Amino acid sequence: SAETAAPVQSEQAAPVVYENNYLVKVGDVAPNFTLSLTDGTEFTLSKNRGKVVMLQFTASWCGVCRKEMPFIERDIWLPNKDNKDFVLLGIDREEPLEDVKKFAESTGITYPMALDSKADVFASYAERKSGITRNILIDRDGRIVKLTRLFNDKEFGELVQAIDSLLGK
């Protein structure tokens, strides 16, 4: 399907699809979820209200994700990892734990990774069959402030600036 800015509606009251096949838009409350992390702990989005949260949807087979992740590590995670008001979570779609651990190791990232084993969390944010990489930036009130798709310098720079702004840097 063509990725356009206008919402697409079918006669069967299908969900509204926004730009880049997102099912959410800036200003929406981010859909809540709970996922297991690679270290065995659980992450629940709603328990992180009051913090700035960035979600990165990724997978080991995604070349663009592999290209982007070292930049996320260097420009977002490392400068902010000790900030108690910031959370960064990589969400790997449809891969087993061992593959996700190897993926994180091979890309050199140290930020937390979660397992979205059936892509159900992904499907609450974007059309299930649509592509990744995608980053979702959520403010302290739980509202989406930025959505990215693919990886380009301009958009990534805007994402870094938005995080810094939300953190009061």
User: Exposed, middle or buried: residue 5 (CB in 10 Å: 0-12, 13-18, 19+)?
Assistant: exposed
The rounded percent of the chain whose pLDDT value lies above 70 is 92
Which pLDDT band holds residue 10 (cuts at 50, 70, 90)?
very low
Instruction: Compute the average pLDDT of residues 151-159.
Output: 96
- Note if the bond before 58 is cis, omega within 30 degrees: no
The model's pTM: 0.91
pLDDT for residue 6: 54
Q: What's the mean per-residue pLDDT of the chain?
A: 93
Instruction: Compute the average pLDDT of residues 124-153.
Output: 96
Instruction: Compute the average pLDDT of residues 143-163.
Output: 96
pLDDT in tens, 65-113: 999 999 999 999 999 999 999 999 999 999 999 999 999 999 999 999 9
pLDDT for residue 8: 53
- Interior/surface letters 31-67, b for 16+ CB within 10 angstroms, e for the rest: bebebebbeeeebebeebeebbbbbbbbbbebeebbe
pLDDT of 2 above 50: no
pLDDT of 1 above 70: no
Q: Which residues pair with 93 in a beta bridge?
A: 116
